[in-house]
Structure 1
Amino acid sequence: MHNPDRPVPSSYRERLSPSLWLLVSAAVCAPMAAVVFSPIDTTLALAIGLAVGVVLVSSLILTAPVVTLADGVLRVGRAHIPVADLGEPEVLTGEEARAARGGGLRRDDWHLLRGGIDGVVRVPVSDDDDPTARWVFSSRTPDRVAAMITRAQRGR
């Protein structure tokens, strides 16, 4: 149900964090590091193993790219573009997203794609001076991203 008194969010933020399987795989490095140092000292081995696990998992999460939309600027990872220079966003899921990440990706597309994230947003660049034809990037909520881009283009 729509509540007209509820404020409409004017910005969007999503961290494209790694999949659970990748985080578990990184965490498995902790016992492997502990086994390497166990002949020296078991307490030291446990501390090193724990440190390796925490550092790997936290670095994967903290260095994950972020998709933000605020103040009329779309930021995906380190790249940014004003929404005024973008066309109508296209939401892709399932087979369409798989094709967009593979054979449908053109060489003049700018892309940031993450494994384990099914949704893809494809937005044409309308600036004639920009050599990039489209932005193609992963999102767990591509419908929300597309709606926020469209809302920002309309100036709401």
Structure 2
Amino acid sequence: MASTQPTAEGLDGSVVAYRERLHAPWWMWLLGTVLMLTLGVAYGFRLGAVAGVITFVVAEAVLAALLLVTAPLVVVDDAVLRAGRARLPLRHVGRVAVFDAARTRDARGTRGDKRAYLCLRGWVPASVLVEVDDPDDPHPYWLVSTRRGRELAPVLAAARDAARDVAG
């Protein structure tokens, strides 16, 4: 769920202007549960019902942990853009563009720059392209999945402008 209300976060007291977790969709959870259930039935058939239930419960817990841990967080605070584990100081954010599914597909494919930083999830078809305005950075731009690009882009642009005003 995305949030655009500024809130304090963390020990450093940074002000968060945008926050979105790119969770897997419901159908992926359902598909994973069906596959883990199938695994539990297979083990249960061979080793008994208790082994099957234990297998299902453990496999489902591992699946849930993987789906939760691998869901990247996209955050704009008063200092950086965070996409997954990567950080981009706002003073180095250039132009920001919202991409629909077709433009995202082109940008991550052969038409994109292989040096770009990608924080993409296949179940989130849209993205924002953030140009990197830092000559020392090897990435010309970031391509970041988002379900709310029309909200993220203006928040990011405003945070960038505010950070440059403070620094300048």
| 1:140 aligns with one of 139, 147, 153 | 147
Residue 121 of structure 1, CA deviation: 0.6
8 Å Cα contact 2:41/2:52 also seen in 1 = yes
* Structure with the largest fraction of strand: 2
- Secondary structure of the residue aligned to 2:27 is helix
CA displacement, residues 86-108 of structure 1 (integer Å, 9 cap, x when unaligned): 11200011322222222331112
Percent identity, aligned pairs only, is 30
8 Å Cα contact 1:16/1:64 also seen in 2 = yes
Structure 1 equivalent of residue 96 of structure 2: 89
TM-score in terms of structure 2 length: 0.79
TM-score in terms of structure 1 length: 0.85
8 Å Cα contact 1:72/1:82 also seen in 2 = yes
| 2:81 aligns with one of 43, 60, 74 | 74
Residue 8 of structure 1, CA deviation: 5.3
CA displacement, residues 49-69 of structure 1 (integer Å, 9 cap, x when unaligned): 123123212321232111111
Q: For 1:1-156, what aligned pairs fall within 5 Å after superposition?
A: 9=6, 10-38=16-44, 39-155=46-162
8 Å Cα contact 2:130/2:141 also seen in 1 = yes
Instruction: Supply the distance in 1 between the matched residues of 2:109 and 2:26 (Cα, whole angstroms).
Output: 23
* Structure with the largest fraction of helix: 2
- Structure 2 residue ranges without an equivalent (≥5): 7-15, 164-168
CA displacement, residues 93-149 of structure 1 (integer Å, 9 cap, x when unaligned): 132222222233111211111101121110111111212111111111111211111
8 Å Cα contact 2:21/2:71 also seen in 1 = yes
- Structure 1 residue ranges without an equivalent (≥5): 1-6
